[in-house]
Structure 1
Amino acid sequence: MPLRASPLGFGVLIVRLVPNGIEIGQAARIGPCDQSRKLVARRGRPQLQRTKWGGVVDNGLTGSGFFRVAERNGVFWLVDPDGGRFLSKGVNNIRFDQDHVGRTDRVPYAKACTAKYGSPQIWRTATSNRLASWKFNTVGCWSDELVASAGSQLLASTPTAELGASFRLHRRDQIFPDVYDPEFSAHIRVSAHQRCRHRRNDPGLLGTFIDNELYWSPDWRGTDELLTLFLNLPSHRPGRIAAISALQAHYRDFAQFNTVWRTQARSWEEFGRIEHVVAPFVRLRPGVLNDAIETKANLADPSREAFSADCDAFVAVVADKYFELCVSAIKAADPNHLVLGSRFGYQPLSGVIAAAGRHLDVVSFNCYDFDPGPVIDAYAAAGRPCLISEFSFRGDDAGLPNSSGAGPRVPTQTERARAFQGYVVAALSKPNVIGYHWFEHADQPAEGRFDGENSNFGTVTIEDRVYDELTEMMTRVNAAAESIHAAAVSTAI
């Protein structure tokens, strides 16, 4: 029976489970091209010829020795080092020592795997081969990269450089790194050299993430705007000076500014001495529904509209500077590989997406919805290929609390497998998507890891037992991924 119907262009992509694989069909379309097409990925039929990296052999593509991106007929693909048409199918946090219990020395997964395999190297080989048997081809974030070459099938790797995060930790008074600080540019160039240069000739490196889930605007972590965060830096910080200068350049005089911002100051000089600037309005986290609410509120209050415009303009400039500096630093250390973005933790404001599109090779984002379609469409505005760098579903029958952690909960492993299928098929139906990375390899401890997360995110249990229903579905969907994406090409005609 149909398990997913995804709108694509003027038609509908229909995906059905069949006894030996996945059947992909296209329903009748409205428009000049009315021919229905069907692609079937099924055992017993000729299999796609693949390169040693797992990419589909394509005579229209040539290898460069490194991973790159290509656009064909309006659809994005990765191209592997040997010229194969490639989609990155990855798993995050593939580690022998995954997840300490709280902040203790206890690592239940490592204990179970020591008893089962005897050594980390034997575990690496077994795990690499198991992932390849599930048709994954990429070792995702926070993983032991030795897993990528430990098995019989080469896997790509995607490390995180943590350029902005490492500077933010260096400057403890910053939630977001002060990109105006001259030391920021110096810091990220040194960090990029240390973390990226040694991999510049590695064909197995798919690309490098700059950071993970930086704070761009109100989200689950708080209601602050990036502008107010910069205004509340210490008075000598370059970011505070830049924020005040931006406001001064925009408003004709202080009285006009204060009509919007409603501070206790009576001049720019007094405003510069305020230790803590309080935002006059609190905005909702960006997103389709919230954006509509914000638009309505702005229409009702010109001051709120002006405040929103101030915040949006500033974060767009900061984003442009951040991506320009970070991409430049990574490319100086490693000119051969893709820069995969900063793994947006939520859909940021449109100005941030536009800035990402101007500088990145690939825009990456984490999305824990059942249907990623609307979020993917928002990122399409960047004009760049997109990689879903994190998603997952948690089953309530796994015996774990599931009380802390991102993403939807479902009743059973059967529903978890179906959720994976629906999500990935919907994602691959979008022409700008070039891959998806599942969070994560093994379940979290029931007692909670360092941040309290205690959920059924794994492809395996904490005792390294495989979730059969989930991984069987992953195998079938991963094997059909290129055909699903190619079907999206046909609907775009």
Structure 2
Amino acid sequence: MPVTYSPDRVAGDIVVADSNVPLDDGSRYTAQSHEDRLVYEIEPGSLTDARYLTCDLLLDGDHLAKWELRLHEGEDGPTFGLRYSALNQCQARVRVPLTATNQNRWKYDREGAWLKPLAGGDRVNLERVDRITIAVIRKSDEPVRWCQTPLVATEEEPDRVDSPALPEGPLVDEFGQSRIHEWDGRTEDEGELVERLETQHREANDHALPDDTSQWGGWTDRQWEATGFFRTHHDGDRWWLVDPDGHPFWSAGLDCVRANVDSVYGGIADALSWIPDEDGPFAPALGTTHGQPLVDYLTANFVRAFGDDWHDRWTDTVLGQLRRLGFNTVGNWSEWEIARDAGYPYVRPLRLDFDDTVYRDFPDVFADDFEEAAAAFAEPLAETRNDPAMIGYFLGNEPTWGFADETPAAGMLYTTETCATRSELRSFMEARYDSDAGLADAWDMDVSFADLETGRWREHLTDAARTDLADFSEVMVDEFYRVLSEACRAVDPNHLNLGTRYAYVPGDWALSGMSHVDVFSINCYEERVHADRFAEISERLNVPVLIGEWHFGALDVGLPASGICRVGDQSDRGDAYRTYLEDAAAKPWCVGTHYFTLYDQSVAGRFDGENYNIGFLDVCHRPYDPLATAARKSHERLYDVAAGRVEPYDDPPRYLSTVH
């Protein structure tokens, strides 16, 4: 150690050049297609003593690309993968901790221009890895051009890059906009910015929700029992939410209604053309997140217009914009306090942060102190339990154990040597099998009940073992959500338990735990909602479905990435919005969709590096008019669509390969 690897070959349509390379010892690569890749053949066992794999890269152009570094056990064996992307025109250092191959962690920290490292694939044994590949897995319509140095396996933690190469100079201007893109709609100067914000603030009170809606945004055409709080109701034909006055309510929500568009600059300070003085008038725009410094250019822009009164003016302005667009709900990740104070319907998240976890973020649910931890988790609900404007609360968001290719019970065997939940697993299997021999025979493995309770596993599981562990995972998940839900209802019996906002449709082993919630919530980044699967879940659980996140973006307004769902331009975003929302509203099991997000993300990337064109407004508070107009049209006919009086909008745009 260290050991340096250069690619033994390339696969696909990659072109290699070694001239005019901006990184020392690097090579220039051009990839034309998805899955173009570099291939490194290595001796099995050569990674056994390594703790990191590292290299430097510099992504050319102005659109995002994403790679996956894969470790292979033979041609047909398990494969571990770590996905990542990078800022354009800024040197990044890839630092892959090889402990990631144990799969106990999904998301790793962004480091400078190295963005959103995510572990996936299989658990691998480093002693058996004989090949490394680096593949291009996401790209725009243009070829991916990047420079990269040789790959190094090392015992020592590689240094981070603090002064990266910036061949095009700073990436971000003083207003938070890109300096390396050209597009129509750029804010050119402070005068233009201030005039826009002053006009929006002046006109804020002129905007209203669509006609024929209650003070909450419910549908005044009908009325049922008024309870003073939001609730669910099935009218014989479909599910609804019901507002505090008894009117049907379909939740058209907007996530991240908050005064920040964070540009995280740890390790890349030179990429920002302006960082405010911490003692000056723009100090409110400075902060930290996930241990990294940030500049919030949205806040800085409001300070430019309104000085010390910037937050009150932002509140008035943004609530006016929500009414103008026709949104009746302030969605997750928002400054929900401004909605509470204004009597605007809102949801709020609860924070899952348990000390004792057994696999990724899954807690030790059979530990003696888990109920006490659940009570502390629920306590913040006391603040809003009597507020009629609150629709409900989320128990969590996209649990990282839900992103794994294995169940929590299976993962726990490899990541936690002993815990109360493993003791419960032993009892569960002892009730299923009469002896160690019976267990070993059923699993076709050399295993005992004692092995289930203690010790860290290394061998791969058989299909029979995975099936039994999925059954116990169902027990784990049910206990998890039963205890959390009971704790929340003890503090707040008035509001809806909106579930946990899964990222994907969970396996059957994860669904029984949702029997404890009032609404099944899920984030669905697709062209339309999953009609058959969501209908099945709603019927099985006898609860409605709420979409917690979705969006569409493009590459035409000065941001390097489109977001998870991509269309051609801002007009197409409007058509995509109408198609998705009205299709969802027409589904009898769906009671709302919450769009992610109000604002575009920073061109320099948020805490994990996301830098998507997904907002209704840019960092300078310029609305995307085609999207805004489309949303208002859909929101004005929302209840007629939900009631079946009119057909949903069905003129979708052309959907493109994602760049995120």
Q: 1:246 aligns with which of 428, 448, 470?
A: 428
Cα 1:256–1:99 shift into 2, 3 Å: farther
Q: Is the Cα–Cα contact under 8 Å of residues 553 and 612 in structure 2 kept in the other structure? A: yes
Q: 1:350 aligns with which of 508, 514, 517?
A: 508
Equivalent of 1:132, from 308, 323, 331?
Answer: 323
Contact 1:233 / 1:239 at 8 angstroms: preserved in 2?
no
1:378-428, CA deviations, whole angstroms, 9 ceiling, x for partnerless residues? Answer: 43232201110111111111221117x5x2111211111111111112211
- Choose 1 or 2 for highest CA Rg: 2
Distance in 2 (alpha carbons) for counterparts of 1:69 and 1:78: 4
Q: Following the alignment from structure 2 to structure 1, what is the Cα–Cα distance between the partners of residues 516 and 326?
A: 31
Q: 1:156 to 1:258 in 2, by over 3 A?
A: same
Question: Partner of 1:452 in structure 2?
Answer: 609
Partner of 1:207: 392
SS at match of 2:580: helix
TM-score of the pair, normalised by structure 2: 0.59
1:455 positional shift: 0.6
Q: Does 2:238 match 1:75?
A: yes
Q: Is the 8 A contact 1:127 1:147 kept in 2?
A: no
Deviation at 1:259?
Answer: 4.1
Counterpart for residue 485 of structure 2: 327
**Larger RCO, structures 1/2 (Cα 8 Å, 6+ apart):** 1
Alignment of 1:7-406 (within 5 A): 49-102=212-265, 103-118=292-307, 119-148=310-339, 154-162=343-351, 165-167=352-354, 169=355, 171=357, 174-193=360-379, 195-217=380-402, 219=403, 222-232=404-414, 234-259=416-441, 261-265=443-447, 267-270=448-451, 272-280=453-461, 304=463, 306-356=464-514, 358-374=515-531, 375-380=533-538, 381-402=540-561, 405=563
Q: Distance in 2 between matches of 1:252 and 1:427?
A: 49
Residue identity in the other structure for 1:386 = V
Q: Give the 3 Å change call, closer, same or farther, for CA 173–367 of structure 1 in structure 2.
A: closer
| Distance across 1 between alignment mates of 2:229 and 2:588 | 22
Tell me if the contact between 1:420 and 1:474 (Cα under 8 Å) persists in the aligned partners: yes
1:138-179: CA deviation from partner (whole Å, max 9, x where unpaired): 11111112331566xx421111112xx211x56587531121
Contact 1:125–1:150 (CA<8 Å) still a contact in 2? no
Shift of 1:361: 0.9
Counterpart pick for 1:415 among 563, 568, 572: 572
Q: 1:363 to 1:273 in 2, by over 3 A?
A: closer
> Helix, strand or coil: the match of 1:449?
coil
How many residues end up aligned between the 2 structures?
409
Residue identity over aligned pairs, in percent, reads 29
Structure 2 equivalent of residue 14 of structure 1: none
Q: Check if 1:430 corresponds to 2:587.
A: yes
User: Structure 1 85/190 Cα, relative in aligned 2: closer, same or farther at 3 Å?
Assistant: same
The AA in structure 2 aligned to 1:213 is E
Report the Cα offset of residue 273 of structure 1: 4.2
- CA change 1:462–1:263 in 2 (3 A) is farther
Contact 1:75 1:489 in 2 (8 A): no
| Residue aligned with 2:381, SS | helix
Deviation at 1:82, TM superposition (A): 1.2
Alpha-carbon separation, structure 2, partners of 1:161 and 1:467:
31
User: What is the DSSP-based 3-state SS (H/G/I as helix, E as strand, rest coil) of the residue aligned with 1:159?
Assistant: strand
CA separation in 1, counterparts of 2:620 and 2:646? 42
Deviations 1:114-141 (A, max 9, x none): 2244411110111001101111011111
Q: Which residue of 1 aligns with 2:39?
A: none
* Structure 2 letter corresponding to 1:400: L
2:506 and 2:645 map into 1 onto residues whose CA distance is 26
Are the counterparts in 1 of residues 521 and 545 from structure 2 also a CA contact under 8 Å?
yes
- Alignment partners' CA distance in 2, 1:489 and 1:411: 28
1:343: how far off?
0.8
Aligned-partner residue type, residue 247 of structure 1: M
More helix per residue: 1 or 2?
1
Give the Cα separation in 1 of the matches to 2:253 and 2:618: 18
Distance of 2:502 and 2:618 partners within structure 1: 28
Q: Distance in 2 between matches of 1:311 and 1:488?
A: 48
Q: What amino acid maps onto 1:251 in structure 2? A: Y
Q: Contact (CA 8 Å) 2:358, 2:419: kept in 1 or not?
A: no
Confirm whether residue 486 of structure 1 aligns to residue 643 of structure 2: yes
More off after superposition, 464-473 vs 173-182: 173-182
Give the distance between the partners of 1:382 and 1:456, measured in 2 at CA: 35
Shift of the alpha carbon at 1:348?
A: 0.4
CA offsets 1:28-58 (integer angstroms, 9 cap, x no match):
xxxxxxxxxxxxxxxxxxx853211111124
Q: For 1:316, what is the secondary structure of its paired residue? A: helix
Aligned AA (1:336): N
Report the Cα offset of residue 260 of structure 1: 5.1
> Partners in 2 of 1:371 and 1:216 — Cα distance?
25
- CA distance in 2 between counterparts of 1:471 and 1:234 reads 49
Distance 1:373 1:269 in 2: 42
CA contact under 8 A between 2:254 and 2:327: conserved in structure 1? yes
Structure 1: where are the runs of 5+ without partners?
1-46, 282-303
Give TM-score, length-normalised by structure 1: 0.77
**Residues of 2 paired with 1:171 and 1:274: CA distance?**
16
Offset of residue 216 of structure 1: 4.5
Q: Work out whether residues 400 and 446 of structure 1, in 8 Å CA contact, stay in contact via their aligned partners in 2.
A: yes
Asked whether the 8 Å contact 1:393–1:457 carries over to 2, the reply is yes
RMSD: 2.4
Do the aligned residues in 1 keep the contact of 2:230 with 2:388 (CA within 8 Å)?
Answer: yes
- Residue 229 of structure 2: SS of its match in structure 1? coil
Q: Which moved more, 1:311-320 or 1:343-352?
A: 311-320
Asked whether the equivalents of residues 312 and 349 of structure 1 are also in contact (C-alpha less than 8 Å), the reply is no
> Paired residue for 2:48?
none
Q: Are the aligned partners of 2:340 and 2:346 in contact in 1 as well (CA < 8 Å)?
A: no
Q: Give the secondary structure class of the aligned counterpart of 1:410.
A: coil
Q: Which runs of 5+ in 2 are unaligned?
A: 1-209, 266-291, 649-660
Alpha-carbon distance in structure 2 between the residues aligned to 1:63 and 1:48: 21
Q: Which has the higher strand share?
A: 2
3-state SS in 1 of match to 2:232: strand
